[in-house]
Structure 1
């Protein structure tokens, strides 16, 4: 897995353990609710378990925006994409650009369909995934079919 350059501001860095950067994202209760429907922050054990799982079941990247790590994105072997952007950097189309790159990666891997699990209350994520072409296929599942 190598670094993926999205544009002059944004690149994806292959996952490596970096608790200093990533733990604060998962200690933000709003982000925990958006991502996992959790009302409690992550601790280091849960953070490590999540990243160990994502990085051993697909491709997991940190999102670097203008030189700062601001979140993570993954494409699992089962064609599921997941993304987290810390609150301070949301609503700047960072997530959209990263998901579009994960769709390119999926195509490189021969995946015709990519799916995303989005909680029904997470309108922000729903709108972003729909903007890049995902369609709702079930209560909390969205799917992208490559053309």
Structure 2
């Protein structure tokens, strides 16, 4: 099972994230834009956008993402996105404030991991919660038993609070973090097989 090891330094992350893995079970058809509400839309990853530099080159944000105050180079961000796009569903989060649209984060759902990054200027607006609720729905729809967040650091109280409010629970302790998981409804196929 491949999981995000966000504790590694950026170079280690890129090396681990680009290792060979068997084909994902995700439908690899070109994803479409997803309108979540009047303000939030998911835009399928197409290329690295300049907005990403703001999130992945901020040491404070990176401490919450990977556990240490580092920054990713543009090349490391591109490698990360390439790997994520090949091994799950990767979207940009687009926010519309009534006047213009802008990319304010990214979100990734894999078979064994879920990760979301929101620009600091847009935090505390429940955007992460709204997007995560959509991916809970999406995971249920494709028949998953769980949705897992591989690592939430002990000092990242905002993420802990958001995920626990959505019925995620800590299930595996790591050195400075916990892995969180949410049990999903069993799919119709799973119910039929258990009869």
Structure 1 residue runs without a partner (length 5+): none
Match of 2:91 in 1: 61
Deviation at 1:81, TM superposition (A): 0.9
What is the TM-score when the length of structure 1 is the normalising length? Answer: 0.94
Give CA deviations for 1:121-146 in whole Å, capped at 9, x if unaligned. 21111101111110111221111011
Tell me which of 149, 154, 169 is aligned to 1:135. Answer: 169
Q: What is the rounded CA distance, in whole Å, between the counterparts of 2:172 and 2:111 in structure 1?
A: 21
CA contact (8 A) 2:105 2:116 kept: yes
The 5-angstrom pairing of residues 105-144 of structure 1 reads 105-116=138-149, 117-139=151-173, 140-144=178-182
Structure 2 residue runs without a partner (length 5+): 1-30, 186-195
The list of structure 1 runs, each at least 4 consecutive aligned residues, that deviate by more than 6 angstroms after superposition, is none
Tell me which of 108, 112, 121 is aligned to 1:74. Answer: 108
RMSD: 1.1
Q: What is the rounded CA distance, in whole Å, between the counterparts of 2:52 and 2:78 in structure 1?
A: 10
Tell me which of 39, 48, 65 is aligned to 1:18. Answer: 48
Count residues with an aligned counterpart: 146
What is the TM-score when the length of structure 2 is the normalising length? Answer: 0.72
2:73 is the counterpart of 1:43: yes
Higher strand share: 1
Deviation at 1:29, TM superposition (A): 1.2
Give CA deviations for 1:89-144 in whole Å, capped at 9, x if unaligned. 11110000011111111112211201112112211111011111101112211110
2:161 is the counterpart of 1:89: no
Q: What is the rounded CA distance, in whole Å, between the counterparts of 1:103 and 1:71 in structure 2?
A: 18
